[in-house]
Structures are given as structure tokens and as C-alpha cells.
Amino acid sequence: MTPLLSIRSLTKRFGEREVLRGVSLDIASGEFLTILGESGSGKTTLLRMIAGFEQPDSGEIWMGDERLDGLPAYRRPVNTVFQSYALFPHLSVRENVAYGLRAQGAPRAGIFGRVAQALAMVKMSEFERQSPARLSGGQQQRVALARALVNRPKLLLLDEPLSALDANLRRQMQTELKSLQREVGITFLFVTHDQDEAMALSDRVALLRAGGLEQVATPREIYNHPETAYVAQFIGHTNILRAEVSGGVACAGTIAWRWGGSAYSNGTALFSLRPEAIRVVPPAETGLPSEDTVRFRARVATQTFGGASDFMEIVCPDGQRLRVRVPSGSSLEGEQRFEFDLLDAIPVRPAGSAAAAATTPSAGAPSTDTPSTDAPSADTPSADAPSADVTPADAAAAEVAAADTPPAGEGPAQ
């Protein structure tokens, strides 16, 4: 299947810093793909290159059989929803949504109908005469979406559009955003630092680290089968077990299990073990575990109530600490027996050992270097970034105008 968008070996430097390192990625038509990463990983820079607001130092961007990286922003069949929404404060909701159509020279007779349709999609028809200042954050976000969708782009770029919303509204908008994407059938490329948001919305997740792709997979695959220790630690919580493998047996301190996988021969190996994969063995259970079960003893150091689940930190006899999540129940203390299934110990490569290759989409122990997943995005700005006295909204609005309006002497893109 031919991808809608193909990113081929993109690189970008800002001064001495390499922001993108040979990123290659294919995106299918109608897909909801999320670029996930911590601050400074390069995710916003990658989005800006696709939009045409930044130029790569090397590499190519293709949409079908058309190469985009040599085209100005206004000639690319993409639209962007900015983090600040970039609504024009002096225009009404209806006029904001109609702005791009008028800038492109669309027939006046058709503008009203398309604007009405776009506002209906985002449930904002009754607010068409309001000014943006009189709208809530969620309503402003809907208007920004309508303004992008009204141009009927092949690809919609969303740069952390939900980050300014409170937690409850954010969850509501996640549901609405995914439903809207399915309804309109447009390919969404979504940028976020929030792992929960990425897992809830995406068909696939592309995890960036320091300008390189660590893994590209479905949310379920990237959570259950992380390829590197970094992926395992960034996506949810995990325990990284450092084991010595010898003679088909892996030993991580006092925890030992059979290991016949081909990923490692004899030597040191890393395994990811999710907290929910570890179970408490009931005291009444006296039989031996099955051959596919690993059983060990540990002392309960802490137990914290978390609603439907309790979170525990346990300490093995060798001092190794593990995190455990179990269904809420009575408090445990002292030494307990724990177990996990062999298949839940997932072998992973060391963090940053290899980048993910370009993939064509198909149909359809705590560490000191664990990344922060709740920091705001702050990718390195370009050399021509707006000065400190220009607000983000003004800068984004200027980009909207630059993307939608051809230079003097040129007509609108056909």
C-alpha cells in the first residue's frame, strides 16, 4: 500500500545541536499517527518541516508522487492546528473559519456552505457570530479545528492542541477528536508529550528520542512489546531487570527463570516487567508454580491506594526494588510471595541502541534516566523564531497567514 506521506532520512541542525537524525516514517491515508516524545526530542521541528515552516538540512518529504520539501507552505495540501489555536481576535468565529478559503480565492458563493459544514462538524454552529475572546478553551480549540478542516486538507497537523485544557476537558476533547477524525477520514498527525493521550488517540505511535525514532507501532504493541529500555520506561511504568543469562537461565539478583529466546546468548540482558504483571501469591496456595511461572519472595516496603488498584514497592533479598500494581484489597506487610509469567518478561535493548526503521503502516526497575512525560514541549526554535515581545498566538497567526496566502504576484494553489 502506497503511503499518503513518506518522510525519508530527514536531518536538521540548529547550530551545533542535531535536532533530527535521519528520521524516516510512512503514514497511511486516513491514519491517526502520534509523534510522541519528551521536551527537545524534535517532534515539533518534524511537524514544522512537514508544514513548510522549517527546511530540512537533508532528506525528503513526499506526498504520493509529489515532493513537498521544496514547496512553500501555502502550496502544501496540509493544515496545522497550533498549540495556541492562533485565532484572530478581531474576527468572529465564522470569519476565522472562512479566512483560509478567502485567502485562497475560493468562490464567495461556496464559502458560506463550507464554513457552516465545518462548524457543524465541531458542534460550534450556534457560536458563529461570537468573538474568540468570549469562548472557553475547549470552544476555541473546536474553532481552530474547523478552520483547518474547512480547507479539506489531505493531512491535518496538530501541535499539542489539547495541552492548554484542564484535565476533564482534555479527556472529553480526546474522545471528540478521535470521533471527528473517523468521521471526516482525514489523516491526522498529532504531536504530544503526553503518553496517555497518545495511547488513547492513535492508530500508531512514533516515539522520538533525541531526534531519532526509537519505535513505531500500535499503542498495544508499543506497550506490550517495547523494543528498547527507553520505550518501556517512557510508555507507562515498568521494572527493568538486568539479568545474567547462562545455560538458558536468566538471573536478575535473587529472581531466576528459564530463558531460551534468541535475543540473547550468554551474557548480560535487559528485560521489561510491567508492575501489573507481578501477582501476589495467596498464603493458602501451597503447591508448586507451573513451569511457565516465576515465583520469588520480597518484602513490601510501601503500599499506596490508587482506586481500583494498589501500588506497592517491594524489596527483594538482594536489595532489588520492584514496582507492583495489584487489585485494591487489604494492606500487605512483611515478606510475601510474588510471581509472574515467563512471557511477561520482555527482552529489550539498551536505551538508544538502535533507531526504528521506516515502517509502512499496515491496514488496519525504575531508572534514574526515566524521561519526564508531563513536561511541556519545548523543541529548539529556529533561527527566525519570533522575539520575546511577540506572543505565541501572534506568531502562530502569522504562520497561518503565511501558509494560506501566496506571495505577491502568485495566484492561489490549484
Tens digits of pLDDT across the chain (414 residues)? 579 999 999 999 999 999 999 999 999 999 999 999 999 999 999 999 999 999 999 999 999 999 999 999 989 999 888 877 788 999 999 999 999 888 888 888 889 899 998 898 888 999 999 999 999 888 888 898 889 888 888 999 999 888 777 788 788 888 888 888 888 889 999 999 999 999 999 999 999 999 999 999 999 999 999 999 999 999 999 999 999 999 889 999 999 999 876 656 788 999 999 999 999 999 888 888 888 999 999 999 999 998 999 999 999 999 999 999 999 888 899 999 999 999 999 999 987 554 444 444 544 433 333 343 333 333 433 433 333 333 344 444 444 444 444 444 444 333
Whether 5-228+353-404 shares its CATH topology with 229-348 is answered no
CA distance 405 to 285: 72
Which CATH code of 3.90.1150.10, 3.30.930.10, 3.40.190.10, 3.40.50.300 fits the domain covering 5-228+353-404?
3.40.50.300
For residue 322, count other CB atoms closer than 10 A to its CB.
Answer: 26
182's enclosing H/E stretch is helix 167-184
Domain ranges of the chain: 5-228+353-404, 229-348
Contact between residue 269 and residue 240 where contact means Cβ atoms under 8 Å apart: no
**What type of residue is 204?**
R
Residues 166, 167, 172, 178: is their CA dihedral positive or negative?
positive
CA distance 333 to 106: 70
| Residue (of 155, 49, 128) closest to 58 by Cα position | 49
Report field, pTM of the whole predicted structure over 0.85: no
| Residue (of 278, 282, 256) closest to 323 by Cα position | 278
| Residue (of 210, 254, 215) closest to 235 by Cα position | 215
CA distance 142 to 328: 39
CA distance 248 to 235: 29
DSSP per position, 68-115: -TTS-GGGSSEEEE-TT----TTS-HHHHHHHHHHHTT--HHHHHHHH
User: pLDDT at position 410, please?
Assistant: 42
CA distance 355 to 41: 13
User: pLDDT at position 179, please?
Assistant: 87
| Residue (of 408, 293, 392) closest to 343 by Cα position | 293
The SS3 assignment for 411 reads: coil
Which residues partner with 349 through β-bridges? Answer: 228
For residue 239, count other CB atoms closer than 10 A to its CB.
Answer: 25
CA distance 359 to 281: 41
DSSP state of 370: P
- Classify domain 229-348 by CATH number: 2.40.50.140
Q: Which three cell numbers stand for residue 79?
A: 493544515
DSSP per position, 270-311: EEEE-GGG-EEPPTT--SPPPTTEEEEEEEEEEEEEETTEEE
Q: Which three cell numbers stand for residue 339?
A: 510471581
| Residue (of 51, 83, 88) closest to 398 by Cα position | 88
Place of cell 538458558: 248
C-alpha 155: how far from chain center: 17
User: pLDDT at position 284, please?
Assistant: 84
User: pLDDT at position 380, please?
Assistant: 39
